[in-house]
Amino acid sequence: MKQIDVIVREVGLRDGLQIHPTFMPTENKIAWIEAEAAAGVSEIEVTSYVPAKLIPQFADAEEVTRRALTVAGLTVAALIPNSKGAERGLALGVHKLNFVMSVSRTHNLKNVRREREESVADFRRIVKMVRAQPEGRRPKVVGGLSTALGCSYEGRVPVADVVSYAVQLAEAGADEIVVADTVGYADPVQVHTVFKAVMAELGALPIAAHFHDTRGTGLANISAAIECGVRRFDASLAGLGGCPFAPGASGNIVMDDLCFMLDSMGLRTGVDLERLLQVRSIVHAALPDIEMHGALARAGLPRNYVRADERRAA
Amino acid sequence: MKQIDVIVREVGLRDGLQIHPTFMPTENKIAWIEAEAAAGVSEIEVTSYVPAKLIPQFADAEEVTRRALTVAGLTVAALIPNSKGAERGLALGVHKLNFVMSVSRTHNLKNVRREREESVADFRRIVKMVRAQPEGRRPKVVGGLSTALGCSYEGRVPVADVVSYAVQLAEAGADEIVVADTVGYADPVQVHTVFKAVMAELGALPIAAHFHDTRGTGLANISAAIECGVRRFDASLAGLGGCPFAPGASGNIVMDDLCFMLDSMGLRTGVDLERLLQVRSIVHAALPDIEMHGALARAGLPRNYVRADERRAA
């Protein structure tokens, strides 16, 4: 039985592709999912249940979900912007519904055209809908908090607001809370402050971090969150994602670099670094014009590198 | 009087340029030094006192040093590989002599063709030479330890060796010890282990960290070192440097991103971020083919960003 200390979750198929102008063919998406699962990534956000006319990249959400669900051992997650999205996920039997709202009022209004209170009410309805399902058909419901570490409209976001909405989503029945630095504003000190404050209120409820590497602080923020006790992280292969507000800026945490850093720190991710790096070529072949990031891919592993699980065994 | 919490030191003119095949004209080097000093960087390693036939990039070491010494308020440092280099520095009146040896035996043999014990003996001679100078003409002598967090020949480097050579250089009379991750192997956990071990032995002697960002962990390692109490860091504008063993890999910590992260963490560097970013154009104009890195330069400052000194004042 493979031991895991930290769960890394691939979000590139959703957060990475959603701003890319070219549709990635379904077969390529499936090949990516299968290869990354085979490399040891145990959870993948495979799509978003938004109307295809809003984001054509996810026009194949149903087929991608169905086929991802056939990958043995993989936890298949999908983003849901609202209860309509939740209905689609329930019909498909997806394992995890990743609901998202913004802590910043302006961002929430621009992104989902909802007051934050309306978003919390939406989330309550979704949890109710899920709990009405027969046992064995109930996906996990995740409460995601965007712009929790800064907002491109409002700037700094009060820690008290992050805690308040985390508690509201938890009380509404979330199985997990995701705290997201949507626009890459965070620094390690702020990560300590925000995550400690949220975790103090959430008790044993799992908490995950979704950082962006827009200003270079991504892995430093991961390390700070690790110190706080966070053990679930979102990332995307080759850092796919970018930021619509900063052309050329890298977006998500680079999955390959994240897995390397965690493994170096002695934290087992279950991911085979060499096999993970090979998945990059699948993405590159499918979308030759997409900008790929990653330091490990350029530099390679250190000489005589000893993996975390080998060190544990020694 | 400007308050500083962390000293950031520019090493790009030495560590960044030494592997670049094109000579940067002296006037451009001076423009870079002047502009970065004006942006608030208080210490710059301006050159290396190696024979010009070995590294032609430093053929102008004398002129660069002399002119850098005219920049008001700037601490002018230079690398010295041996006592010949120290003699050149003493003749010029440079403020700081940065001696360097490798903790890894193989790396030291390849780099300076010396056993490590011979390097320590060299350092003792250099300290003696400096102390023989009249007061007011004595530069600070820095003991630098390369490959302290891993070696591209030997792999892992024993912590006990790092501590041993740090203590030997300290006892020989170093005014400061620099612990360097020359090939970018370090992770935050290792940084904690190594720096805590070294600092426990060095007492009040200043310690600095010289990290490379070869595998993306650079700023995470800075953050870990900050937690250990380190307050002096080497970096290079736009991450100039690369790694001769990893083409395309970024080399030094990106000065611009470092200053942003530290400032975000509430640590004052004395550096004006906007002015620092403007210095990049001087380097780019002088060496249009050099690869420049940096996330802040692409993404810009967060909206409504409040600087550390403004937050302190509020």
| pLDDT (tens digit per residue) in B3-62 | 999 999 999 999 999 989 899 999 999 999 999 999 999 999 999 999 999 999 999 999
What pLDDT was estimated at residue B133? 96
Closest CB from A155, A224, A300 relative to B302:
A155
Domain boundaries, chain A: 7-313
Residue B40 has phi, psi (to 5 degrees) of: 115, 0
Q: Find the length of chain A.
A: 314
What pLDDT was estimated at residue B247? 63
Q: CA A157 to CA A30: how far, in whole Å?
A: 37
Closest CB from A151, A189, A223 relative to B188:
A223
Closest CB from A183, A186, A261 relative to B220:
A261
* B261:A299 CB<8 A: no
* A249:B299 CB<8 A: yes
In Å, how far is B261's CA from the nearest CA of chain A? 6
Percent of the residues in chain B that have a pLDDT greater than 90, as a whole number: 91
* A217:B257 CB<8 A: yes
* A215:B257 CB<8 A: yes
In Å, how far is B204's CA from the nearest CA of chain A? 25
B151 an active-site residue? no
HEC secondary structure over A57-109: HHCCHHHHHHHHCCCCCCEEEEEECCHHHHHHHHHHCCCEEEEEEECCHHHHH
What pLDDT was estimated at residue B251? 86
What pLDDT was estimated at residue B74? 98
B47, β-bridge pairs:
B78
Closest CB from A250, A265, A298 relative to B187:
A265
Closest CB from A152, A217, A296 relative to B219:
A217
Using pLDDT thresholds of 50, 70 and 90, give the confidence band for residue B249.
low
Taking the CA atoms of A30, A33, A38 and A43 in sequence, report the sign of the dihedral they define. negative
Percent helix, strand and coil across chain A, each rounded to 5?
45, 15, 40
* B264:A190 CB<8 A: yes
Q: How many CB pairs under 8 A join A and B?
A: 141
Torsion of CA A149, A152, A156, A159, to 10 degrees: -40
* A188:B300 CB<8 A: no
Check pLDDT > 90 for residue A308: yes
What pLDDT was estimated at residue A1? 60
What pLDDT was estimated at residue B2? 78
* B303:A152 CB<8 A: yes
Average pLDDT, chain A: 95
Fold observed for domain A7-313: TIM Barrel (3.20.20)
Check pLDDT > 90 for residue A284: yes
Selecting among B151, B228, B243, B259, the annotated active-site residue is B243
B33 and B74 in contact (C-beta within 8 Å)?
Answer: yes
Query: In chain A, which residues have their Cβ closer than 8 Å to the Cβ of B217?
Result: 219, 257, 260-261, 264
Region B197-214 average pLDDT: 96
Using pLDDT thresholds of 50, 70 and 90, give the confidence band for residue A312.
confident
Q: CA A114 to CA B302: how far, in whole Å?
A: 24
Check pLDDT > 70 for residue B1: no
Region B169-184 average pLDDT: 97
Taking the CA atoms of A156, A159, A160 and A165 in sequence, report the sign of the dihedral they define. positive
* A248:B187 CB<8 A: no
Count of Cβ atoms closer than 10 Å to residue A20 Cβ: 16
Higher pLDDT, A246 or A53: A53
Query: In chain B, which residues have their Cβ closer than 8 Å to the Cβ of A181?
Result: none
Q: Find the length of chain B.
A: 314
Q: CA A111 to CA A116: how far, in whole Å?
A: 11
Check pLDDT > 80 for residue A13: yes
Buried b (16+ CB within 10 A) or exposed e, B126-138: bbebbeeeeeeee
Report the relative pairing of strands A75-80 and A96-102 from DSSP bridges. parallel
Higher pLDDT, B250 or A112: A112
Region A169-198 average pLDDT: 97
- Considering only alpha carbons, which residue of chain A is nearest residue B260? A215
Query: In chain B, which residues have their Cβ closer than 8 Å to the Cβ of A266?
Result: 189
Count of Cβ atoms closer than 10 Å to residue B120 Cβ: 18
* B183:A154 CB<8 A: no
- Best residue in A104, A107, A222, A223 to probe B by mutation, most B CBs within 10 Å? A223
What pLDDT was estimated at residue A288? 95
What pLDDT was estimated at residue A245? 61
Closest C-alpha among A159, A157, A46, A56 to residue A108: A157
Element (H, E) at B99: strand B96-102
What six digits make up the tokens of A135? 């046992």
DSSP, collapsed to helix, strand or coil, labels residue B313 as helix
A183 and A215 in contact (C-beta within 8 Å)?
Answer: no
What pLDDT was estimated at residue A34? 98
Query: In chain B, which residues have their Cβ closer than 8 Å to the Cβ of A217?
Result: 219, 257, 260-261, 264
Higher pLDDT, B246 or A143: A143
Query: In chain B, which residues have their Cβ closer than 8 Å to the Cβ of A264?
Result: 186-187, 189-190, 217
